[in-house]
Structure 1
């Protein structure tokens, strides 16, 4: 008899406890329209509450256009057809200004007038195009045929184009099209 009473009392305690735990789990996991629970923890935060942390860095891309150039091989019968896209790092404020201006944010794009980053670089565009011509036409097929050669070309383009990009720090150069004939 005592066992029956204990088992009924135990059952009366366990069922509500299980329901409360299940309901809390359902709420925390965001089920059935419940507000999701977000835990925001910052590890290794500085003593000033993180106020000295650098603003978030964003990245924008701009196409420098498709180019066909003669390579520096003897006889001048080899050419390179390429499209180069440059990625630059900008601060959050500049990113918001540029993405609000053109809607496209400079991502991809064909280098048209709707690209706000391209518009920002318009004063440097002749210098950028000249740098591309000088670097690309100085290469031979043998230099560009290997993966290492292409990586070296990207590094050289990043270094030589940076002065024309001014405050926009070039973070990456992409060869989105690359055909040697």
Structure 2
């Protein structure tokens, strides 16, 4: 009788062992898939390269600052500052690079576009280079307006940073090329601190006159 029961017992043990192995394999497969997905790092957007042009930027007011100097002989600095910010927006890539390639011309000098007065003429229906140029200029102006709205009251923070830094300088500190570059770096760091959600790429001086 014991001999008859032994095969049945062995069969039950074998079945249980088979179920255990199958469960282990299934757990490994499913677990391995989850680990593989979790290990895949997110892809960060690629910043748009400006290549000699200006990306998103703010042009601060052209102002006169009082430098640290004797009251009897005050020295002033007439300064206009441009602060450029990093972007990953492909629309900026199109404006800064795609349009230039479409026109088949060399990159334009690093300038800030300003609104132009409406013109009565209409671009040719064929869409020549002039028509494409106007379209690209319009698109860039729209992007700048959108960026300005995004910055909002942050512009006042930037203006305050520039004022605090410049008025703390002596004429000698800003008289040399090295002094100007140091001033740019200090302004860039201050703006970055005040606008931590944005990345400042560079600071430019479009007007710099001591008097």
Secondary structure, aligned partner of 1:143: coil
- The answer as to 2:87 corresponding to 1:57 is no
Residues in 1 aligned to 2:162 and 2:183: alpha-carbon distance in whole angstroms: 11
In 2 relative to 1, CA 78–128 (structure 1 residues): closer, same or farther, beyond 3 Å?
Answer: same
In 2 relative to 1, CA 94–159 (structure 1 residues): closer, same or farther, beyond 3 Å?
Answer: farther
User: Match for residue 120 of structure 2?
Assistant: none
Post-superposition offset of 1:117: 1.9
**Structure 1 gaps, min length 5:** 1-50, 100-106
In 2 relative to 1, CA 61–127 (structure 1 residues): closer, same or farther, beyond 3 Å?
Answer: closer
- Superposed CA offset, 1:20-51 (max 9, x none): xxxxxxxxxxxxxxxxxxxxxxxxxxxxxxx9
- The answer as to 2:82 corresponding to 1:85 is yes
User: Match for residue 108 of structure 1?
Assistant: 112
Q: 1:141 aligns with which of 171, 192, 202?
A: 171
Q: Is this contact kept in 2: 1:63–1:109, CA < 8 A?
A: no
- Superposed CA offset, 1:61-97 (max 9, x none): 221221111111122611011110011101226858x
Map 1:120-159; keep pairs closer than 5 Å.
120-159=150-189
User: Match for residue 168 of structure 1?
Assistant: 198
Post-superposition offset of 1:52: 6.2
Q: Which has the higher contact order (CA 8 A, sep 6+)?
A: 2
User: Match for residue 51 of structure 2?
Assistant: none
**Structure 2 gaps, min length 5:** 1-40, 49-54, 97-110, 116-140
Residues in 1 aligned to 2:91 and 2:194: alpha-carbon distance in whole angstroms: 18
Residues in 1 aligned to 2:66 and 2:113: alpha-carbon distance in whole angstroms: 26
Q: CA RMSD in A?
A: 3.1
Matched residues, number: 123
- The structure that is strand-richer by fraction is 1
Moved more, 163-172 or 151-160: 163-172
Q: Is this contact kept in 2: 1:62–1:108, CA < 8 A?
A: no
In 2 relative to 1, CA 163–95 (structure 1 residues): closer, same or farther, beyond 3 Å?
Answer: farther
Residues in 2 aligned to 1:132 and 1:67: alpha-carbon distance in whole angstroms: 11
Post-superposition offset of 1:143: 0.3
In 2 relative to 1, CA 78–120 (structure 1 residues): closer, same or farther, beyond 3 Å?
Answer: same
Residues in 2 aligned to 1:52 and 1:127: alpha-carbon distance in whole angstroms: 33
